[in-house]
Amino acid sequence: MDLSIVIPIYNEEDNIRALYERLCGVVGPMHLRYEFIFVNDGSKDRSLALVQELASHDERVRYIDFSRNFGHQIAVTAGLDLSVGEAVVIIDADLQDPPELIVPLYQKLQQGHEVVYAKRRTRQGESVAKKFTAKLFYRILARITNISIPVDTGDFRIISRKVVDALKLMPEQSKFIRGQISWIGYRQTYVEYDRAERAGGETGYTYSKMIKLALDGITAFSDAPLKAATISGFIVSGVAFLVLLYTLYSRFVTKEYEPGWPSLMTSILFLGGVQLIAVGIIGEYISRLSANVRQRPLYIISDTNITRKTQQPTKE
């Protein structure tokens, strides 16, 4: 098998047919042995039926049906786990990632790279808030992590079998695949593209899912927030100490002071706030630690037409 194409699906009934046709139009002329792996991530619409319908006519269509919604990153992970292609493309189902780009991605991979990611030059049809938060997030992440995670890049990319195998060695529960791929290293390069509007349907990425992804990315690849908590602790206690000195000075030396509670209140509230933030940051890390300690399987498959023996994520 030369190429596997992994497509996470969450309520994409409006796009599946069009996506399949465009993919066939692109990959067909490349003269490769290929497969599509549709991962149905607990869709509530007719997505699964549509994929099964495609699979009944085209044996290159494989599908994995999850028992519930496990999230985009987990869906991609499952697709990678069960893929066998020498190269694997990860692509969204909503046609925001143009299938036509697979040709240059594949060419660059053949020129001796292990990862070729698709970098968004522009993005259309997304709210100003989403574009702004995404831009900000990628830049903060780039600053505070010690691996170089490319900015303005989603999961749309092609990776070689070597990279898939390396990903399978990374057992973390909170997946941030684009970060993990940067961490893995090898020769990586990119192709630029203009991100289109969603073809049909609505985004499955709610704000809470985006916040979770952002926190997963940060906590998995950076300890900067923990250090920031420590540093702010030092700064606040330093300031508090100076205020203490000043209070003693005005109380006993100049004897010019305002008796009362405003300063007391402010310092208590301020300290309380800083402490809560610090505890919250620690909590974010601990919750991920405990998820990893629990060692649950990442996902549960309720149905699939993939029969060959592939390595499921194993638990030793």
- Shortest Cβ distance from residue 135 to ligand UDP (Å)? 13
Listed ranges 89-97, 104-112, 256-264, 268-276: which one lies at the site for Mg ion (CB under 5 A): 89-97
Residues 84-103 that bind ligand UDP (CB under 6 A): 92-94, 96
Q: Is 118 in the site for ligand UDP (CB under 6 A)?
A: no
Please state, in angstroms and rounded to a whole number, the distance separating the CA atoms of residues 214 and 63.
Answer: 28
- Shortest Cβ distance from residue 182 to ligand UDP (Å)? 19
Instruction: State which H helix or E strand residue 231 sits in.
Output: helix 224-249
Q: Is 14 in the site for ligand UDP (CB under 6 A)?
A: no
- Shortest Cβ distance from residue 126 to Mg ion (Å)? 8
Q: Is 257 in the site for ligand UDP (CB under 6 A)?
A: no
List, in order, residues 6 or more apart from 91 with CB less than 8 Å away.
5, 6, 7, 97, 99, 102, 156
- Encode burial over 179-213: b for 16+ CB neighbours within 10 A, e otherwise: bbbbbbeeebebbebebeebbebeebeeeebeeeb
Cα 198–Cα 2–Cα 174 angle in degrees, nearest 5:
55
- Shortest Cβ distance from residue 95 to Mg ion (Å)? 9
Please state, in angstroms and rounded to a whole number, the distance separating the CA atoms of residues 34 and 37.
Answer: 10
- Shortest Cβ distance from residue 96 to ligand UDP (Å)? 5
Q: Is 79 in the site for ligand UDP (CB under 6 A)?
A: no
Q: Is 75 in the site for ligand UDP (CB under 6 A)?
A: yes
Number of neighbouring beta carbons within 10 Å of residue 238 = 10
Q: Report the DSSP beta bridge partners of residue 93.
A: none
Minimum CB distance to ligand UDP smaller for 41 or for 65: 41
Q: Is 119 in the site for ligand UDP (CB under 6 A)?
A: no
Residues in the site for ligand UDP, rule: CB under 6 A? 8-10, 12, 41, 69, 71-72, 75, 92-94, 96, 203-205
